[in-house]
Amino acid sequence: MPAARTADSTAVGTTITAALRGGNDGLSTRRLNVMRLGYAFMAVGLALVKWPLFVQGVHSLPLMEGVVASLLTAMSLLSLLGLRYPVTMLPILLFEVVWKLIWLTAVALPLVASDGLDAAAGEVLFNCSFVVVILAVIPWGYAWRRYVTAPGNAWR
């Protein structure tokens, strides 16, 4: 049993060391730079739209609008880290895709189907449509291998 634990610890240590050194996990420099474009797209887009809310006083927004502004501002800041660590920050891109696809299928699609899409929902639909950029920059083969088929970390 201790030998297995040592081997697992060594593998985890090697992965952490590679990540800290900027390991690319087999992705080409071109692929990493494409990912960086996605992070920059998110960071700049959200900075232009959400950061001014903090300058103007996010505390004056209705509760849930303040929550959304805070969450999306955090996403933009974390996207900036993705410029330096594109592979390590991949979950940020995945989160962006997942929440937008959930909203599009669970909220927008039924509204469009029932002809109930108002101006506010239409604006959110327009903003969420930019998820196609993020969908295009994610290395889906790598994400599948890393998060679906690879063995998970040991439960201790």
3-class DSSP state for residue 61? coil
| Cα gap 28→142, rounded to integer Å | 11
Provide the pLDDT for residue 106: 96
Is 13 contained in some domain? no
Is 138 contained in some domain? yes
- Report how far apart, in Å, the C-alpha atoms of 138 and of each of 55, 90, 91, 120 are: 32, 8, 10, 29
Greatest Cα pair distance, the chain, in angstroms, is 62
Is 14 contained in some domain? no
State both tokens at 10: 């060594």
Is 64 contained in some domain? yes
Can you give the C-alpha Rg of the chain in angstroms?
A: 19
Whole-structure pTM value? 0.80
pLDDT tens-digit map of 73-109 = 999 999 999 999 999 999 999 999 999 999 999 999 9
Q: Report DSSP state, residue 6.
A: H
> What percent of the chain is predicted at pLDDT more than 70?
85
Is 131 contained in some domain? yes
Question: Would you list the DSSP string of 94-113?
Answer: HHHHHHHHHHIIIIIHHHHH
Provide the pLDDT for residue 65: 87
Is 155 contained in some domain? no
pLDDT tens-digit map of 14-42 = 555 555 455 678 899 999 999 999 999 99
Q: Return the number of other C-beta atoms located less than 10 Å from residue 151's C-beta.
A: 7
Closest CA to 112 of 132, 128, 98: 128
37: containing domain: 28-149
Work out how many domains the chain is built from and give that number. 1
Is 19 contained in some domain? no
What amino acid occupies position 43?
A
Is 72 contained in some domain? yes
Interhelix angle 119-128/90-103, rounded to 10 degrees, is 150
